[in-house]
Amino acid sequence: MPDQKDPQTTGASSTGRDVAVLGGGSFGTAMSKVLADNGHTVHFWMRDKTQVEEIRNTDVNSRYMPGVKLEGDVQPTTDLAGAVDKAEVVFLAIPSKAFRAVIREHSKDFADGQIVISLTKGIEELGFKLMSEILQEEIPRCRIGVLSGPNLAGEIVNKDLTATVIAAKDPEVRRAVQDLLGCEYFRVYANVDVYGVELAGALKNIYAIVSGLAAALDLGENAKAMLITRGLAEMSRFAVSLGANPMTFMGLAGVGDLVVTCTSPKSRNYRVGYAVGKGKKLDDAVAELGQVAEGIYTLKLVKEKSEAIGIYMPLVRGLYEILYDGASISAVINSLMMSVQNSDVEFILPRTISQ
Ligand SMILES: NC(=O)C1=CN([C@@H]2O[C@H](COP(=O)(O)OP(=O)(O)OC[C@H]3O[C@@H](n4cnc5c(N)ncnc54)[C@H](O)[C@@H]3O)[C@@H](O)[C@H]2O)C=CC1
Ligand SMILES: O=C(CO)COP(=O)(O)O
């Protein structure tokens, strides 16, 4: 059970604020719904005029969240500057590939000290930058945070019980987001390890693809547990080498998000892995999805980065070989199972080095 009287995490206490959500996909829609349900005015920016008209006329974003009514004060718009100008807090749900371009084009529209929160779980190709690092570069005048955790959009819009993590150095930013989003079905926990929380959210997408693949091959329950746990070992090894706090991986943004996306076909990354495991080509699997699966891009970047800095990531390497080099799935599984047997928890017993 969640802690009952944690003063950090008591429910929503602010009503009637103006906020902006940028990005009209499934997660932007889900977070707009939580914010509007909590009594806030949501300036909901998206680039597609037809989608704006549809939400204005029907309260539904049928392409990304069919059948879900956005009740309360949601104001869809294609005017980004206008949305940001009215908002005390801005939430960004723009896929990583487009993230910097959107922020750079509109950097002047953000106010000094404005709170800007990334919801995006990806990595920028050039320079291996996380979204908070992009924000720091493009709008350093703003107060920045990231939100990440086991947060399947399709469940949030049904008001299924959900918890997430706000990570920010500034305690006022953490408190503002807890106040805006917290309610009877959505709990917001706090962390200061911005890099760890954000990197965890991006990395787990890789293991969700691996888990979807394993499910398609019916590898069994033991294999499922092995993949999730070794995925956690691998992602925390990588993240800690880059400066993240290992304890972050014990929390909702680490284990929590890894578990939900590695066990549920509601995860799009899992579905891509499942489709490939059933024999589909990667491009066809992604095209059929029609939504973003950040893990397929993150995989490439993490494979390159881990090789460049010498971090052992056998699951990343194996998945890369399957998705991008045409390796046979059974050969990759065999090579993983027959590699040198090693330490369980390397923070207790160091690994025997063998690449
Ligand atoms: N859907 C989910 O359950 C969750 C998603 N996220 C993250 O949120 C981010 C956004 O994902 P979703 O909303 O789920 O994706 P989606 O595929 O449902 O929607 C993507 C949206 O981004 C828009 N977009 C793409 N390029 C754009 C550009 N250049 N300018 C403006 N808008 C652009 C699309 O028009 C679309 O509205 C991703 O990084 C994802 O990992 C995080 C938590 C949960
Ligand atoms: O990040 C998510 C849930 O926490 C959503 O995962 P997918 O992008 O795989 O759907």
Q: In what helix (H) or strand (E) does residue 148 lie, and over which residues does it extend?
A: strand 143-148
Q: Could you give the residue range(s) of every CATH 3.40.50.720 domain in the chain? A: 14-192
CA of 149 to the centre of ligand 2 (A): 9
Residues 6+ away with beta carbon under 8 Å from 185: 159, 160, 161, 162
CA of 239 to the centre of ligand 2 (A): 19
pLDDT tens column, 63-116: 999 999 999 999 999 999 999 999 999 999 999 999 999 999 999 999 999 999
Atom in ligand 1 nearest the alpha carbon of residue 96: 39
Please check the confidence at residue 157 and state whether its pLDDT lies above 80. Answer: yes
352 — pLDDT class (breaks 50, 70, 90): confident
354 — pLDDT class (breaks 50, 70, 90): low
> Nearest Cα to 180, choosing from 113, 88, 92, 111?
88
pLDDT tens column, 198-243: 999 999 999 999 999 999 999 999 999 999 999 999 999 999 999 9
Please give the pLDDT value at position 14: 60
Please check the confidence at residue 355 and state whether its pLDDT lies above 90. Answer: no
pLDDT tens column, 330-348: 999 999 999 999 999 998 9
Please give the pLDDT value at position 111: 98
Q: Could you give the residue range(s) of every CATH 1.10.1040.10 domain in the chain? A: 201-337
Q: Is the CB of 37 under 6 A from ligand 2?
A: no
CA of 96 to the centre of ligand 1 (A): 8
Please give the pLDDT value at position 3: 43
d(CA 49, CA 308) in angstroms, rounded, equals 43
5 — pLDDT class (breaks 50, 70, 90): very low
Q: Is 339 annotated as a binding residue?
A: no
pLDDT tens column, 107-139: 999 999 999 999 999 999 999 999 999 999 999
Asked if residue 270 lies in contact with residue 262, where contact means CB atoms within 8 angstroms, the answer is: yes
Q: Tell me the β-bridge partners of 189.
A: 165
Q: CATH class for domain 201-337?
A: mainly alpha
pLDDT mean over 250-261 = 98
DSSP 353: P
d(CA 231, CA 302) in angstroms, rounded, equals 13
Out of 5, 108, 204, 305, pick the active-site residue.
Answer: 204
Q: How many helices (H) does the chain have, and how many strands (E)?
A: 15, 10
Higher pLDDT residue, 353 or 324? 324
d(CA 21, CA 84) in angstroms, rounded, equals 9
> Which residue in this structure is represented by tokens 């909901």?
44
Q: Does domain 14-192 have CATH number 3.40.50.720?
A: yes
Please give the pLDDT value at position 353: 73
Q: Is 26 annotated as a binding residue?
A: yes
pLDDT mean over 142-160 = 98
Question: Average pLDDT of the chain?
Answer: 95
